[in-house]
Structure 1
Amino acid sequence: MLNSDIFLIIESSKLKFTEVDQQIADYFLNGNPPLKQSELAKKINVSTASITRFCKKTGFGNYKEFIYCYRKTLQEHSNDKNNITSNLLIRYNELITEIDKTIDIEEIKSVCRLIQLHKIIHIYGLGLSAIAGEDFKFRFTRIGKYVEVVQDYDSIEMISSLLDQDNLVIYLSLRGENQYVIRSLKRLKQKGATIIVITSNRSSVMDELADVTLLTSQIKNTNEVGQVSGQLPLLIIIDMIYSQYISMYRENVSKWIGTEYAYLHGHKSSEHK
């Protein structure tokens, strides 16, 4: 039999099934343990003859051939699951190890100090980088910062024309090669804006543009994109920044959270009066 995946074989044979056949099929399609023919008949309350007819409808000579193929398919699916898990764990470990080797904690602290100095923060990010930017926004908005994620060319160009030396811009991009964004960052640099770049691109252009550059890991094999989330290397750096920021400014953060809680609690109380 050319197709050895028993689940596909059963699915492709469904048009020939009676209600009893479907009952037998459901047992196997749910991935239940393989049983002897007599045990299976007793368990699902059908005759052994019905099971034999079912096997023949799916292209097997008898139950022995069918159950052999079923066991093999279960093993293959189990191996696939284990391989996927193992490969992902390896990829995650590689990402974290590489970041740990390249990241400078003093640069993380410098980023935190710049964030502390600015009430308003603009995040530039396209595609998956914008999703990472939303994570940054969610975290820092909760502790008193106004964060705006700018995620398309026109908006980046327009916002850049309005910002000046009093503003902080964080550019998120693994490749760091988009010429439209780089052009806007160059204009911001000329106007004296503070720029932080989080990227895996170790080019001199990024170093020239940024007040601080945080290097993250690369997804080296493009075939892995989709298996390992493309924004994960950026999210790890954001986790590090947020954790360090909380550590450095714990008192300020606690005051903000306390003030916010008091305001919300008082606002809700007044609504019930």
Structure 2
Amino acid sequence: MEENIILQIKSALHSLSKAERKIGEYILQHAVEIVNYNTSELAQKAGVSSATIVRFCRSIGLSGFSQLKIRLYADASGVDEDLYTDITPNENVAMIAEKLALRFNHSISQTVNQLDQSLMENVSKIIDSSTTIYVYGLGASHIVAEDFTQKFSRIGKTVVNMLDHHLLSSSFIGTDEKSVFWQYPIQVKPMKLLN
């Protein structure tokens, strides 16, 4: 699943070199026009070298300028450019909903592209075979741990979630090998590894 190229460029801007950032900013302002340019024309208009354009494309995960043009044509043509701006005061509800939908779809695409399927299958097997799942998260991660607890309890899993790590660690005493410790940020460890 391909990510939206406009949002992909926006999220990569902070990690690009100064010259590459210059191209990225130019593309964001002229996305629809870029599909009609060749490398030399874009380089001239953005005030950089043709080689920098190639480096820019590779920096954002593309094979080259041709792929950039194809992705821009698919994502930017016929789309209201205001969709790619941040939500502003006094914006109508319909525009806010469209912006949120665009970003939500982009986030799902990013997740799918970065998902390690073999790791997910291994973690699923560990959780499925576990008798008890111990969950821990501190601060904002505790909210994620609470959500995990609620969701997995609903499907019949025994989940122990405590904010106090002293109480949580003392509850490990009676665990068996099929128990799992799940910590946020994510680290899944069978209890036999903790002994």
- Indicate whether the TM-score tops 0.5: no
TM-score between both structures, scaled by the size of structure 2: 0.42
Larger of the two Rg values belongs to structure: 1
